[in-house]
Amino acid sequence: MSVLNTSEMEISTFFLIGIPGMEHAHIWVLIPICLMYLLAILGNCTILFFIKTETSLHAPMYYFLSMLAFSDLGLSISSLPTMLRIFLFNATGISPNGCFAQEFFIHGFSAIESSVLLIMSIDHFIAIYSSLRYTSILTSARVFKIGLIFAALCIMFALPFPFILKRLKFCRKSLLSHSYCLHLDVMKLACSDNRVNVIYGLFVALTSLLYLGCISVSYMLILKLILGIASHKGHLKVLNTCISHICAVFIFYVPIVTLAALHRFAKKCFPSH
């Protein structure tokens, strides 16, 4: 693998990495990764199939679930190809345009998934706070409009990323720190002024934190409503309604934090030369 280090010549290939220090065990790492992706793809396809075919599932809660399944499916398909190439064939190279495209889809689908989790938390709050008016507040038409508006906003958030990366010059470093392309990773490799990328990346990160904060507030309000319910049976009924969504929130956010921590720890223990 040759990495261009001259300041005069622009880099034509980026290099992704697997897990630092575990290159010899990539084939064994591939097995759980493939199983995880296979389960995610089959599970999400099954959810979409049943929601489409079963008329009893044509309700706001299940429409939001189908949006979540679609975004998770898109996220899995966006990140899987480069991971398979690295862990199966040790093919780490990727063209800048291919990297920018993957980064757009990963950030776009991540934003959609985060948005759907926020919408679902508000949906749960409305269902508990105003159960009698729930069906009149969240009609099918409103659900589709909400979904389209948030999807359009997420695409608008992710769309600038490839363009603000393409304007940068990459001439010294070409080694990324993940198995797929992310804006923060690519931006750090630039040898030209990347202040626009830093500011926009910070804006998007703060928006994501705002989403997480809103989800937390929604569940704090739901918890307050639950404590106000007199019967034990009522408590259990409401908790059963929310617990699956709380698990979905953890499933989305915990791997992001864990993966970042894993790569940071691995880079400290096995620094690249």
Tens of pLDDT, residues 178-216:
888 989 889 989 988 899 999 998 998 899 889 889 988
Q: List the structure tokens of 4.
A: 């261009």
pLDDT of res. 2: 44
Q: List the structure tokens of 183.
A: 């804006």
Residue 175: beta bridge partners? 15
pLDDT of res. 145: 93
Higher confidence at residue 269 or residue 120? 120
Distance CA(9)–CA(110), nearest Å, equals 34
Non-local (6+) Cβ contacts of 209 within 8 A are none
CB neighbours of residue 191 within 10 Å: 14
| Of the candidates 18, 56, 66, the residue with the CA atom closest to the CA atom of residue 263 | 18
Distance CA(225)–CA(46), nearest Å, equals 33
Q: What is the pLDDT confidence band of residue 49, given thresholds at 50, 70 and 90?
A: very high
Q: What is the pLDDT confidence band of residue 261, given thresholds at 50, 70 and 90?
A: low
Distance CA(194)–CA(183), nearest Å, equals 11
Query: In 69-191, where do the E strands start and end?
Result: 93-94
pLDDT of res. 254: 64
Distance CA(161)–CA(164), nearest Å, equals 5
Q: What is the pLDDT of residues 1-48, one digit of tens each?
A: 444 444 456 788 999 887 666 666 667 777 888 888 888 889 889 989
pLDDT of res. 224: 83
User: C-alpha distances in angstroms, 136 versus 60, 131, 222, 240?
Assistant: 11, 10, 20, 23
pLDDT of res. 48: 92
pLDDT of res. 129: 83
pLDDT of res. 209: 86
Higher confidence at residue 161 or residue 254? 161
Q: List the structure tokens of 241.
A: 């309604």
**Average pLDDT estimate for 58-63:** 87
Distance CA(272)–CA(263), nearest Å, equals 12
Q: What is the pLDDT of residues 119-171, one digit of tens each?
A: 988 888 888 888 788 888 888 889 999 999 999 999 999 999 999 999 999 88
**Average pLDDT estimate for 91-96:** 90
